[in-house]
Amino acid sequence: MLNCMDDINARILSDPAAFVADTEKAYRQRIEALAERIAANREIQIILLAGPSASGKTTSACILIDDLKDLGIHAERVSLDDFYKTHDKMPLDENGELDYESIDSLETDDIARCINELLSKRKTELPIFNFTKKARETNTRTIDIGPHGVVIFEGLHALNPVILNQLPEDHLLKLYISVGEDYRTNAGELLLGSRNIRLMRRLSRDKIYRNSPLEKSLHLWTNVVKGENRFLIPYKPTADEKLQSFHEYELCVFKELLEKDLKKLPKSVPNYDRVAFILNAMEKAAPLSPDFVPEDSLLKEFMKGGKYE
């Protein structure tokens, strides 16, 4: 795997389409291998997929579902976001703001109920959270996976013991996804770390899909990191499998999508030190048009035109 910026730039400048294709193929092969291990173990019925913000949980789950279906296994995805509490029941952080990163923001007993029903009855009724109304819908989603299907529950808290302690150990696969790599100079010096790569992804996603100003996303990032450190990182070692979502060419694409907007930010915005790191790395990256990114790429989770939107 390439993470040296000089080598990456050389491949971008020589044959960008081939470089993107090689990167995408390598990631798909990692998921295909995971799907084959799951298919070979018929005991697995529930996959708990956890990972930090902008690690690619949703798209990776969708790709895994496609690969499992190719192997003859019915699979479904459930987002833990649908188990959010109504805003009047949400915990507050130290600044008095709603704390979406806390495990206490979720109806954990309801998550456990749904998983246990899937294990025992192979079907359950799932809530649907309406983020515009900031409350659950009155209707539910029925999920029926039959005798041999699997369900992927994905979210920040999927490996949290508050949930796991209510579940039997059998039939579970605990999966952790993260960027897991960084960009370095030719001399081996750190250019952009994995957490800042995820921030870069999140800034692009929030701008495109949530019409959110970069300033707001940067303000929220502090609490996002606190939530990861408190509610996710301690449980990473409990995962049965780990999936690495770093895409070698991504800095070059996000340079095209974000650099101009990042340069307009005043130094007074929250987490500007991280913005400075990202801009410094972008200056050393060759540009790559988003048109090169295939529609089924994990990176499309953070830009327009994805298959899994």
- pLDDT one-digit tens code per residue, 161-190: 999 999 998 999 999 999 999 999 989 999
pLDDT surpassing 80 at residue 125: yes
- For residue 249, the 8-state DSSP code is T
Tokens of 61: 């789950």
What's the whole-number mean pLDDT along residues 140-164?
96
What's the confidence (pLDDT) of residue 295?
A: 97
Coil, strand or helix at 79: strand
**Comparing 2 with 273, which gets the higher pLDDT?**
273
Do the Cβ atoms of 245 and 27 come closer than 8 Å?
yes
pLDDT surpassing 90 at residue 131: no
Coil, strand or helix at 157: coil
Q: What residue ranges define each of the domains in the chain, with the CATH number in brackets?
A: 5-302 (3.40.50.300)
What's the confidence (pLDDT) of residue 182?
A: 97
Residue type, 212: S
What's the confidence (pLDDT) of residue 6?
A: 96
| C-alpha dihedral (160, 164, 169, 174), degrees to nearest 10 | -30
Q: How many CA atoms lie within 13 A of 303 on its CB side?
A: 22
- Spatial separation of the C-alpha atoms in residues 190 and 212, rounded to whole Å: 29
Query: What are the helix (H) ranges across the chain?
Result: 5-14, 16-40, 57-70, 108-121, 161-164, 194-209, 214-231, 250-263, 272-283
- Spatial separation of the C-alpha atoms in residues 70 and 263, rounded to whole Å: 45
